[in-house]
Amino acid sequence: MRSGKSTYGLAMLMAAAMLAGCAAGGGGAGNQAGGGTEASGAARAGDEAKASGGDQPGGEEASGGSGRESSRGSETAPYLWDVHTTQELMAADYLMYRVNCGAAEDTGGETGLYQTADDQPYGADAGTGKQWGYRPADYMEAVEDDTGEDLTRYRWEIAEGAEYDPEQTGFYYDFEVPGGTYEVTLGFYNPFSARTVTAVAEDQTVMEDQKILKYKLTENAFYTTVTDGSLQLKVYNPDRGKDAMKDPVLSYILVRAVPEYTADLLKQLLEQTEIPENVIPDRQTMRYTAGSYEAFSEQYQAAEALAQKEDAPEEEYRKQYMALKDAYDGLEEIKVYDSFLPGKKWTDDEGNLIQAHGGQVQRLTVTDPATGQTSEKWWWVGEDKTNGSSRSGICAYSSDDLYNWHYEGIVMRNVESRAQLDEEEYFTSLYADYTPEQKDNVFTCLDAGSAIIERPKLIYNEKTGMYVLWFHADGPTETSDSSYAAASAGVAVCDTPYGPFQFIDRYRLNTCPPDQEDKYPESRGMARDMNLFVDADGTAYIIYSSEENLTLYISKLNDEYTYLAVPPEQAVYGRDYIRLFPGAQREAPALFVRDGGYYLMTSGCTGWAPNQARYYRADSVLGEWENCGDPCVGDDNHTTFESQSTCIFQVGDDYIYMGDRWNSEDLKNSRYIWLPIEFDEAGNMSISYTDEWKLP
Ligand code: DGJ
């Protein structure tokens, strides 16, 4: 039977973690498992019966094939391969016991083939009848540790003040197992100062003076051979002396049968390993990330090729066996969302982190250029910060439900070099009509090496049928090296939201009228953080920080939405533009309308660091805006729940706050904070934090 992923997924995970841990833990004395030739040289379950424990060479096979059907030679206990089929053991990933030491109650964790409890005093297992467990002693104290997870959450310690006999005091376990060789892994999650532990299995010291560091997980694995039906284990510290700071601890024990790695065993693994289809049937999206699926397919093919060879060294079979299991276990499922998880990693339907920072979401009717199908979709544009600040361009994502997003690509690409504009088809067709001087300007404004492209916002123009993309276009100028010297608003157009958008130009915008106090007369018409708003009558506005971010402006756009309604020199204050809150230093504007009332959400100006939000209300876009204070409720640090506004959009009767939690050290790993907005009867808005929420 082909088993499919679920059959041994968890067991595989354990195996992978264990082997990785062995490599990292290392250091112990004795016959260590899991590493290269040492592992293959050790005796295995099914080998001829030998005296217990110790370093044993891999004996002659007791029987042909990996099934190890015959034991022969056991005087005291049946052999593992007589008791179980290879399939049975393989399905359990050879795990006989997985003891979560000190776990008093059932933790719901995985258990081995022979056990049903996480831990127990020595006796018959309630589910399997196998005799196993620890030898109870007064000095043993079971401790639960909040800092640990799963197997490191519980451990045995030595009770404070207990009398300690260096030879006798320790943790003793017995495990009923058929004859054979077992790989035993001990896990130590030590909350105390560094100390050492020693282990004896089947009367042989298999681990000596293993150093266990404070709050570091240390694992040590070794092989031991059992002939009498019971694997005996003792973990202690003979060097403890009178110093209680040297008491041993023990977090977990894994007992795993060791198979012989052969072509036959590899074939059986292949048979059990279903190649899962990389599609979620009802969604028609990928189930696993492309990278992990490719890695798995590669290992599967390599295993198929090796399984055809009958005479490869056992180590080669072992490595390939492990590689296939690891690759299977490493198949990374793409998360399908059914809620918003503010501040958590948000991946698209291919498993990649969504790159749409400083963005905007809206409902659009779009025609997919690939299929020609027209449908309504949620459309998210934002900054791709894969390469840091904003070197990659402007991205778009689409969605049917606002939770799960599909990458639609870079809709406006940045330019790597001036030559690229004359050489690469993408740019030559996009800028075919541009003069060399215009292309020079495109390069200056979209130069991937120096231009700053932030806070893109997209609007559809009903009259022209064009999509118009505005953004904060910045970068050095002829007179300044500063990366935020240009302080302009850039604009690009396309007849589809899929792009490619054709960059038109970047502009300085309106200026402070002579009868008002310009907060930054040194540089006029600046435009940085920006947003767009289209009113019910089709008039579009650009809202932006000006006067060195000291004053917000709202300026009317022309009928095409591609420039100001009136050039700055002819603009009439109050008709074509307004200045808001001079000197108040607001940025990150998000303007929306609700029940005929206009709202403007803003942040303060503290670079990438979050600060306190403030919102304003007005009866019209160019009207009187009233300061309504901070809408965040319970935001004790006054940081807008560690975010900065970028857009507020409507879903049915509801409104969603969209903010960025910037990670200035690693901008591509900035997170999104989307929260529901509440309104009281008077229309006052409030935002409360929640870790997870769904649309009503
Ligand atoms: C805050 C702005 O809102 C962001 O878009 C970005 O420009 C940072 N400042 C840069 O410090």
DSSP states of 397-431:
EEESSSSS-EEEEEEEE-BS-HHHHHH-HHHHHHT
Mean pLDDT for 288-314 is 97
Strand order in the sheet with 374-384: 357-367, 374-384, 393-399, 406-413
| Integer CA distances (angstroms), 405 to 338, 350, 400, 460, 674, in order | 12, 9, 8, 21, 14
> Smallest Cα–Cα separation from 317: which of 331, 326, 308, 307?
307
Task: Tell me the C-alpha distance between 261 and 164, whole Å.
Answer: 43
pLDDT of residue 76: 64
Structure tokens at 461: 């123009």
Give ranges for CATH 2.115.10.20 in the chain.
357-414+449-688
Mean pLDDT for 40-62 is 32
Does the pLDDT at position 581 exceed 90?
yes
Q: How far is the CA of 688 from the centre of ligand 1 (A)?
A: 24
Does the pLDDT at position 58 exceed 70?
no
Q: How far is the CA of 156 from the centre of ligand 1 (A)?
A: 51
Contacts of residue 493, defined as CB under 8 A and 6 or more positions apart, other chains included, come to 466, 467, 468, 469, 501, 502, 504, 562
Give ranges for CATH 1.20.1270 in the chain.
263-329
Percent of the chain with pLDDT over 90: 84
Q: Which atom of ligand 1 is nearest to the CA of 607?
A: 11
In this structure, are residues 424 and 500 in contact, taking their beta carbons and an 8 Å threshold? no
Determine if ligand 1 sits within 6 Å of the CB of residue 608: yes
> Smallest Cα–Cα separation from 402: which of 592, 691, 652?
652
pLDDT of residue 135: 98
Determine if ligand 1 sits within 6 Å of the CB of residue 455: yes
Q: How far is the CA of 392 from the centre of ligand 1 (A)?
A: 17
Q: Whose CA is nearest to atom 10 of ligand 1?
A: 607
Does the pLDDT at position 332 exceed 70?
yes
Mean pLDDT for 292-311 is 97
Q: How far is the CA of 4 from the centre of ligand 1 (A)?
A: 48
pLDDT of residue 107: 83
Does the pLDDT at position 47 exceed 80?
no
Give the confidence band of 404 by pLDDT, cuts at 50, 70, 90.
very high
Task: Tell me the C-alpha distance between 191 and 394, whole Å.
Answer: 48
Give the confidence band of 411 by pLDDT, cuts at 50, 70, 90.
very high
In this structure, are residues 175 and 215 in contact, taking their beta carbons and an 8 Å threshold? no
Superfamily of domain 357-414+449-688: Glycosyl hydrolase domain; family 43 (2.115.10.20)
Does the pLDDT at position 652 exceed 50?
yes
pLDDT of residue 104: 79
Give the confidence band of 124 by pLDDT, cuts at 50, 70, 90.
very high
Mean per-residue pLDDT over the chain, rounded: 89
Mean pLDDT for 592-621 is 98
* Residue 37 vs residue 273, higher pLDDT: 273
Give the confidence band of 252 by pLDDT, cuts at 50, 70, 90.
very high
Determine if ligand 1 sits within 6 Å of the CB of residue 454: yes
pLDDT of residue 78: 84
Does the pLDDT at position 350 exceed 60?
yes
Percent of the chain with pLDDT over 70: 89
Does the pLDDT at position 13 exceed 60?
no
Task: Tell me the C-alpha distance between 510 and 494, whole Å.
Answer: 25
Mean pLDDT for 232-239 is 97
- DSSP element (H, E) containing 442: helix 436-446
pLDDT of residue 248: 97
Pairing mode, strands 502-507 and 488-494? antiparallel
Does the pLDDT at position 172 exceed 50?
yes
Q: Which of 23-27, 57-61, 502-506 has the highest mean pLDDT?
A: 502-506
Estimate to the nearest angstrom the gap between the alpha carbon of 375 and the chain centroid.
Answer: 31
Question: What CATH architecture does domain 7-257 belong to?
Answer: Sandwich (2.60)
Does the pLDDT at position 390 exceed 80?
no
Does the pLDDT at position 68 exceed 70?
no
Give ranges for CATH 2.60.120.430 in the chain.
7-257
Task: Tell me the C-alpha distance between 309 and 306, whole Å.
Answer: 5
Give the confidence band of 169 by pLDDT, cuts at 50, 70, 90.
very high
Q: Whose CA is nearest to atom 9 of ligand 1?
A: 607
> Smallest Cα–Cα separation from 30: which of 170, 230, 250, 234?
234
Does the pLDDT at position 3 exceed 80?
no
Which tens digits make up the pLDDT trace of 562-576? 999 999 999 999 999
pLDDT of residue 77: 74
Mean pLDDT for 439-454 is 96
Return the CATH number of the domain spanning residue range 263-329.
Answer: 1.20.1270
Mean pLDDT for 519-528 is 98
pLDDT of residue 325: 94
Pocket test of ligand 1: the residue of 644, 645, 664 to mutate, having most ligand atoms within 8 Å of its CB, is 644
Q: Whose CA is nearest to atom 3 of ligand 1?
A: 588
pLDDT of residue 391: 67
pLDDT of residue 281: 87
Mean pLDDT for 460-468 is 98
Q: Which atom of ligand 1 is nearest to the CA of 644?
A: 3
Mean pLDDT for 202-213 is 97
Contacts of residue 643, defined as CB under 8 A and 6 or more positions apart, other chains included, come to 610, 659, 660, 661, 673
Mean pLDDT for 412-431 is 97
In this structure, are residues 199 and 255 in contact, taking their beta carbons and an 8 Å threshold? no
* Residue 297 vs residue 56, higher pLDDT: 297
Does the pLDDT at position 60 exceed 70?
no
